[in-house]
Amino acid sequence: LSPIMLTIVQAPNPVLSATAKPIGKINKEVTDLIKQMTDTLLYAKDPEGVGLAAPQVEKSLQLFIIKESPDDPLLVFINPTLTIPEGEKIRIPENPPTGKSAKKTKSKKEVKLEGCLSLQDIWGIVHRYEKITLSYLDEKGVRHSKMFNGFISTIIQHEYDHLQGILFPRRVLEQKGELYKSIKNADGEAEFEEIAI
């Protein structure tokens, strides 16, 4: 079967700023949507995505999927409720990037710039919680409650924000951080320029 690619809507599409509706029943329509979202996420290139929320494909539903890396299993989250463990603090990056030296990296010492498939070429530093607890249904309707930490916790917080109608630049502005625009240089590598806010 050839993949069914959905269009990833771009800001300022109003669906991205609306609160998504809970899914009442996991029926064929929902499972088909999950399959189409999976194809869309897996085939997203330049940039590649690690998560996709239903509002990004113009469906205002409480559903998102995550694939942390090509080797990781795809995870489905339906009607999630996110809670922050008691005493958990927002993590502050050690060394924010400056100008063109800003690089996306998975190294723990350097800051990861957060991006979004609905905001092409825009990046920012978002302070997220290291650990979160999420209660959710999987694609079979089974209820889970799990703690997540590290990079997957960041992805979940980003996708969960989508269901609340929040795009990551709003978090950057709330935290008085910087936004960057990525531009390809002559070698085809991304360079990052700060955007005046």
Catalytic residue, candidates 94, 159, 174, 193: 159
Q: Quick count: other Cβ atoms within 10 Å of Cβ 98?
A: 10
Which residues are CB-contacts of 50 (< 8 A; sequence separation ≥ 6)? 66, 67, 68, 69, 155
What is the SS3 assignment for 166?
coil
The CA-atom distances, in angstroms, between 98 and each of 12, 166, 176, 185 are 27, 26, 15, 17
Known active-site residue 191:
no
| Spatial CA neighbour of 192 closest among 126, 96, 99, 93 | 99
Beta strands in 75-158 (DSSP E): 75-83, 114-116, 119-124, 131-137, 143-149
> β-strands 75-83, 131-137: how paired?
antiparallel
Query: Bridge-partner residues for 191, per DSSP?
Result: 183
| Cα–Cα distance, 76 to 38 (Å, whole number) | 9
> So which residues are the catalytic ones?
159
